[in-house]
């Protein structure tokens, strides 16, 4: 019987993968399987993979090799590889790693129980379902802290950036039903969740495929839910940020003034080659408008260096743009050609050493900008979501509105009595040390 078998689910990649793992665990538990955290206790391991860039694929391969060692030890009976790597290379995984017992593509997450059942019968399930089907609604067993949860509002992507493999792995953009999303938020709030992290490949397209719905209409409803205190927005496509959405973000107090807006580049020539819809002038106008209309907003972005055809002049243009906008948070990546994407066959590739040097230079520039921002926080008071206690340093730590879970930094502080995880507390920033914030409980002063 299923309840005699133990399963571990290993998750790689982005928060969207975390949600998919949570749903797989829910299905497996409903079917009677016992979920365990320790790999050494698992008879079946499901590895949920990412394949967005080469480093993600390499991480997935390393995990496959590591987990197959458990089979050699005799504890692990079956290994199933799920998610983006399985969807990307399909049965090539079996040629490279014959010890893998089954594959589950991105369109077949809902068949996880069927796949595990089949593997235990000695079969080799190879499930690759349609990538354009409506988003499957399913319960979750959350893997995040009890007070914080990811809210996946859509699946797939239809932007077709020339460097990106996601549309071929996840299918076209499909919004979830707004009523069902709101219902899920209400259930999360009833479970004690205080922070909702709204995620999708591009949340600004939410509702384009639904009549009378949009991200703005959804956010207004979520902001009305009792118990939810922070709503954080990830992956807003810059050209789809409307005045209506800006007004919702500005006026709804629960929406933290932290916006994750990947731009990828600032050279019009490179943006066109990337098949991005906007221009540098439009990006400049957008960020100026956001700074003006949302006082104190913290901006996060993602940029890419080393894209084919990127000249020294294009790179300097990107650096000048970063200096002008002064993003408080940024992720910087080197272009990684993905087979099957238009960018993989573009002429004028950038030398690998040159690309790495540009990455280093831009990272140093961004570090200076972020350090200046951190220094500007000294003396200011912020509402902090407590997340834990460092027993060695004997300090509590948490996040401000400007820090997304698992991505950004933390603030350390000492408070008596010691706050519990999930509590909110007002903390005044006292100093910066090696890029980290240190503070102390506020003396009932106004927050920044």
Judgement on whether residues 324 and 183 belong to the same structural domain of the protein: yes
Residue 110 and residue 126: Cα distance in Å, rounded? Answer: 13
- 135 in any annotated domain: no
Q: For residue 3, what pLDDT is reported?
A: 53
Judgement on whether residues 341 and 426 belong to the same structural domain of the protein: no
Q: For residue 1, what pLDDT is reported?
A: 43
Residue 340 and residue 345: Cα distance in Å, rounded? Answer: 9
pLDDT confidence band for 214 (50 / 70 / 90): very high
Residue 368 and residue 293: Cα distance in Å, rounded? Answer: 26
Judgement on whether residues 209 and 232 belong to the same structural domain of the protein: yes
Judgement on whether residues 367 and 394 belong to the same structural domain of the protein: no
Q: Is the pLDDT of residue 427 over 50?
A: yes
Q: For residue 73, what pLDDT is reported?
A: 76
Q: For residue 74, what pLDDT is reported?
A: 74
pLDDT in tens, 124-147: 999 999 999 999 999 999 999 999
pLDDT in tens, 267-277: 999 999 999 99
Residue 259 and residue 299: Cα distance in Å, rounded? Answer: 5
Residue 331 and residue 383: Cα distance in Å, rounded? Answer: 25
Q: For residue 286, what pLDDT is reported?
A: 98
Core vs surface per residue 314-340: b (16+ CB within 10 A) or e: bbebbbebbeebebbbbebbbbbbbee
- 448 in any annotated domain: no
Q: Is the pLDDT of residue 372 over 90?
A: yes
pLDDT in tens, 392-425: 989 999 999 999 999 999 999 999 999 999 999 9
Judgement on whether residues 396 and 369 belong to the same structural domain of the protein: no
Q: Is the pLDDT of residue 369 over 80?
A: yes
- 141 in any annotated domain: no
Domain final residue, candidates 322, 342, 374: 374
pLDDT confidence band for 355 (50 / 70 / 90): very high
Judgement on whether residues 346 and 232 belong to the same structural domain of the protein: yes
pTM score of the predicted model: 0.94
pLDDT in tens, 56-81: 999 999 999 999 988 877 778 899 99
- 270 in any annotated domain: yes
Q: For residue 72, what pLDDT is reported?
A: 78
Judgement on whether residues 159 and 122 belong to the same structural domain of the protein: no
Q: For residue 188, what pLDDT is reported?
A: 98
- Average pLDDT over the chain, rounded to an integer: 95
Cβ–Cβ < 8 Å for 35, 141: yes
Domain final residue, candidates 80, 98, 127: 127
- 7 in any annotated domain: yes
Q: Which domain holds residue 284?
A: 148-374
Structure-token pair, residue 15: 């928060």
Beta bridge partners of 196: 149, 231
103 phi/psi in degrees, rounded to 5: -130, 140
Judgement on whether residues 18 and 70 belong to the same structural domain of the protein: yes
Cβ–Cβ < 8 Å for 243, 200: no
Q: For residue 446, what pLDDT is reported?
A: 55
| CATH classification of the domain holding 235 | 3.80.30.20
Residue 65 and residue 13: Cα distance in Å, rounded? Answer: 17
Burial of residue 18 (number of CB atoms within 10 Å: 0-12, 13-18, 19+): buried
Judgement on whether residues 104 and 198 belong to the same structural domain of the protein: no
Hey, CA dihedral for 255, 258, 263, 267, is it positive or negative? Answer: positive
Q: Based on the structure, what is the number of domains in the chain?
A: 3
| CATH classification of the domain holding 44 | 3.40.50.12160
Q: Specify the 3-state DSSP secondary structure of 333.
A: strand
Alpha-carbon dihedral 106, 109, 115, 116, rounded to 10 degrees: 120
Judgement on whether residues 238 and 156 belong to the same structural domain of the protein: yes
pLDDT confidence band for 448 (50 / 70 / 90): low
Judgement on whether residues 156 and 278 belong to the same structural domain of the protein: yes
pLDDT in tens, 318-341: 999 999 999 999 999 999 999 999
Q: What is the mean pLDDT of residues 143-157?
A: 97
Q: For residue 434, what pLDDT is reported?
A: 86
Q: For residue 211, what pLDDT is reported?
A: 94
pLDDT in tens, 80-102: 999 999 999 999 999 999 999 99
Q: For residue 354, what pLDDT is reported?
A: 98
Residue 109 and residue 20: Cα distance in Å, rounded? Answer: 7
- Residue with the larger pLDDT of the pair 181 and 447: 181
Q: Is the pLDDT of residue 300 over 90?
A: yes
Q: For residue 161, what pLDDT is reported?
A: 97
């Amino acid at each position: 019987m299923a309840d005699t078998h133990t399963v571990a689910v290993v998750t790689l990649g982005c928060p969207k993968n975390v949600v998919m793992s949570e749903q797989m665990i829910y299905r497996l538990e409903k079917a009677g399987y016992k979920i365990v955290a320790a790999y050494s206790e698992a008879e079946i391991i499901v590895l949920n993979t990412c394949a967005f860039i080469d480093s993600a694929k390499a991480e997935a391969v390393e995990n496959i090799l590591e987990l197959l060692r458990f089979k050699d030890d005799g504890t692990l009976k079956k290994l199933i590889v799920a998610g983006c790597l399985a969807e990307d290379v399909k049965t090539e995984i079996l040629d490279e790693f014959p010890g893998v017992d089954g594959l589950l593509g991105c369109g077949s997450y809902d068949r996880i129980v069927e796949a595990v059942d089949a593997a235990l019968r000695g079969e080799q399930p190879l499930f690759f379902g349609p990538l354009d089907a409506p988003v499957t609604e399913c319960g979750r067993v959350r893997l995040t802290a009890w007070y914080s949860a990811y809210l996946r509002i859509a699946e797939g992507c239809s932007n077709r950036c020339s460097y990106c493999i996601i549309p071929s792995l996840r299918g076209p953009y499909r919004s979830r039903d707004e009523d069902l999303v709101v219902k899920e938020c209400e259930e999360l709030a009833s479970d004690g969740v205080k922070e909702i992290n709204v995620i999708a490949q591009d949340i600004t397209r939410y509702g384009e495929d639904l009549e009378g719905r949009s991200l703005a209409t959804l956010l207004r409803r979520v902001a009305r839910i009792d118990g939810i205190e922070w709503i954080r927005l990830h992956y807003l496509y810059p050209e789809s940020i409307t005045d209506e959405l800006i007004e919702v973000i500005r006026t709804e107090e629960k929406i933290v003034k932290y916006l994750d807006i990947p731009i990828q580049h600032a050279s019009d020539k490179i943006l066109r080659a990337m098949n991005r819809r906007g221009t540098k002038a439009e990006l400049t106008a957008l960020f100026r408008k956001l700074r003006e209309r949302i006082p104190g907003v913290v901006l996060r972005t993602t940029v890419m260096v080393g894209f084919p055809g990127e000249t020294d002049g294009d790179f300097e243009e990107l650096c000048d743009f970063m200096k002008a906008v002064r993003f408080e948070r940024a992720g910087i990546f080197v272009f990684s050609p993905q087979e099957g994407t238009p960018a993989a066959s573009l002429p004028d590739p950038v030398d690998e050493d040159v690309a790495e040097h540009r990455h280093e230079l831009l990272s140093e520039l961004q570090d200076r900008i972020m350090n200046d921002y951190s220094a500007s926080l000294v003396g200011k008071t912020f509402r902090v979501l407590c997340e834990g206690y460092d027993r060695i340093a004997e300090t509590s730590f948490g996040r401000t509105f400007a820090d997304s879970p698992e991505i950004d930094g933390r603030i350390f502080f000492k408070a008596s009595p010691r706050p519990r995880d999930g509590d909110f507390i007002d903390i005044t920033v006292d100093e910066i040390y090696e890029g980290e914030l240190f503070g102390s409980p506020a003396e009932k002063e106004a927050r920044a």
